[in-house]
Structure 1
Amino acid sequence: MTSSVLTDQHDGVVTVTINRPESLNALTPESMQGIGEAVAEAATGARAVIITGNDRSFSSGADLQGSVQGGGLGLERANAIIRAIIDVEIPTIAAVSGPAAGIGCSLALACDYMVMSEESYLMLAFSKIGLMPDGGATALVAASAGRHRAMKMALTAEKVWAKDALEWGLASEVVGAGTQLERAQEIAATWAQGPPLAYAKATAAINATTLTELDDAFGRELEDQTFLRSTNDFAEGVAAFMEKRSPKYTGQ
């Protein structure tokens, strides 16, 4: 396990903390791998999993430095980790503060339950750098919020604040600032005392019913994102972001 991901286990509940505060918990291949390993390990003995960041941020998305260097997250592997979180046979909770943006948004939506701080928000910021949503977001958002709200998030890259996320069906509940982890721990502690077989069957059945397009979405996103990453628009989007200026897209 890398230091970019911390784990703690208490009374059957594993808490997985993204630990890159200097970058608002931007995700690297190593941190995604650490999350996947922690969830897989929890599945062998824990009764619930919490995925969280710190009070400033859940995750600001993929580390753009990796994009500049050409590596990125490794989308195929990231998709497999998102799928593993959805499929794990114990309940999962995202405790969200600050931004859950880009693939950080996908990571939160992959969980069975999402507790959001009232000061937090979800955001599909991909279009700001000439990309499209990935990490299954094209299916995960639409499954919970519907087509037009998914389109709005993808095309405008606007923040969806916690109150609206709850109204849209993207969040499970909203709590006071700084209390999201405490509330998630309360819920997870209850689940840890509940019927694990029933929970496993319920989450699997609901996911099978509502996420029928997820694997197709992974495939489309991988193909189309690979193309977009080869374009001049992507290079311009990243350069503009790094230089703190408005991008000039040409459609090439």
Structure 2
Amino acid sequence: MTSSDVLLTADADGVRTLTLNRPQAYNSLTVELKELLLAALREAAADDNVRAVVLTGSGKAFCAGQDLKEHVGLLQANDPAPLHTVKEHYNPIVHTIVEMPKPVIAAINGPAAGAGAAFAYASDLRIASTSANFLMAFANVGLGPDSGASWTLQRLIGLGRAAELMLLARTVEPTEALTLGLVSEVVAPEDLAARTQAIAAKLAAGPTVAYAKIKSVLATAAQSTLEKALQAEDEAQSALGATADHAEAVAAFVEKRRPTFQGK
């Protein structure tokens, strides 16, 4: 395991786990943490040895969103940095998660609010602890959504529900999150890390080049016509049909054995 003071990084079985590590502040996002997280995500995306990514938090929270103490302090000091953080930090972080050419799993160990919740929404899979919850509290501080939440949340639960959660700024507990389709699984707190690692390791051992295409095709289809979706599927299948992973899968089927994928 390597670490900075506020972001921990650990590798196991092809899985890189990034842990937000400001537990005393509910892993709220300072400029330092945002910059480190963005750099770590980009590094994971570029590293062929990393075949799946887990994002989680330390302590009792997943991420409380923007660190408001730092935000207010900078504003009071007439520092313009807070006015640019969406463009310079949050947007690139969400772009990197969504466009990551490998699966990203959010292991939501506790409350997730604002940008923290949005990072979870941007991930491919979300596994929540029974102590987790979700809150889109932007309206409570006179702001609108950021970090891609306007795009990701309604694709997970529908426009009507997304509007409700943002306008009313109400907390979603894990049972409701599972019912809404906001998360795929809810587990006991003590089981979250092991369960997430097991799923991530399974994905890491899979055809990661195909996973990248699946993510890309789904993103295209979510915002295009049927014709464009069909075209994207055709292009993806043509490319994947020529990969070593597909050839290995065919050979394994014929030979009645489990395939060994290389992500190529």
Which interval holds the TM-score relative to the shorter structure?
0.7 to 0.9
How far apart, in 1, do the equivalents of 2:222 and 2:176 lie? 21
What is the TM-score of this pair, normalised by structure 2?
A: 0.77
Aligned residue in 2 for 1:216: none
Question: 1:87 offset after TM fit, Å?
Answer: 0.1
Gaps of 5+ in 2: 76-80, 225-264
- 1:83 aligned partner, one-letter code: H
- 2:87 aligned partner, one-letter code: E
How far apart, in 1, do the equivalents of 2:100 and 2:118 lie? 16
What is the TM-score of this pair, normalised by structure 1?
A: 0.80
Aligned residue in 1 for 2:162: 150
Question: 1:67 offset after TM fit, Å?
Answer: 2.1
How far apart, in 2, do the equivalents of 1:98 and 1:10 lie? 23
Larger radius of gyration: 2
Question: 1:52 offset after TM fit, Å?
Answer: 0.2
- 1:101 aligned partner, one-letter code: A
- 1:51 aligned partner, one-letter code: L
Aligned residue in 2 for 1:75: 86
How does 1:1-252 map onto structure 2 within 5 Å? 2-43=4-45, 44-45=47-48, 46-68=50-72, 69-70=74-75, 71-72=81-82, 74-77=85-88, 78-210=90-222
Q: Is the 8 A contact 1:116 1:162 kept in 2?
A: yes
Aligned residue in 2 for 1:226: none
Question: 1:2 offset after TM fit, Å?
Answer: 4.0
How far apart, in 1, do the equivalents of 2:193 and 2:38 lie? 20
How far apart, in 2, do the equivalents of 1:13 and 1:211 lie? 30
Q: Is the 8 A contact 1:21 1:54 kept in 2?
A: yes
Q: Is the 8 A contact 1:36 1:85 kept in 2?
A: no
Moved more, 198-207 or 11-20: 198-207
Gaps of 5+ in 1: 213-252
How far apart, in 1, do the equivalents of 2:71 and 2:41 lie? 26
- 1:165 aligned partner, one-letter code: A
Question: 1:55 offset after TM fit, Å?
Answer: 4.3
SS in 2 for 1:143: helix
How far apart, in 1, do the equivalents of 2:36 and 2:95 lie? 15
How far apart, in 1, do the equivalents of 2:118 and 2:223 lie? 13
- The percentage of counterpart residues that share the same residue type is 37
Aligned residue in 1 for 2:243: none
The alignment yields a C-alpha RMSD, in angstroms, of 1.5
For 1:9-56, what per-residue CA distance to the aligned partner results, in whole angstroms no more than 9, with x for missing partners? 112110000000110000112212211211221221200000000240
Question: 1:208 offset after TM fit, Å?
Answer: 2.4
How far apart, in 2, do the equivalents of 1:151 and 1:178 lie? 33
Question: 1:207 offset after TM fit, Å?
Answer: 2.2
Question: 1:86 offset after TM fit, Å?
Answer: 0.5
Question: 1:4 offset after TM fit, Å?
Answer: 1.0
Q: Is the 8 A contact 2:41 2:93 kept in 1?
A: no
The alignment of Structure 1 onto Structure 2 pairs a total of residues equal to 212
Question: 1:211 offset after TM fit, Å?
Answer: 5.7
Residues 159/178 of structure 1: CA separation in 2 closer, same or farther (3 Å cut) = farther
How far apart, in 2, do the equivalents of 1:173 and 1:183 lie? 10
Q: Is the 8 A contact 1:126 1:154 kept in 2?
A: yes
Q: Is the 8 A contact 1:165 1:171 kept in 2?
A: yes
For 1:115-156, what per-residue CA distance to the aligned partner results, in whole angstroms no more than 9, with x for missing partners? 001121111011111111111111111111111111111111
Q: Is the 8 A contact 2:134 2:173 kept in 1?
A: yes
SS in 1 for 2:219: helix
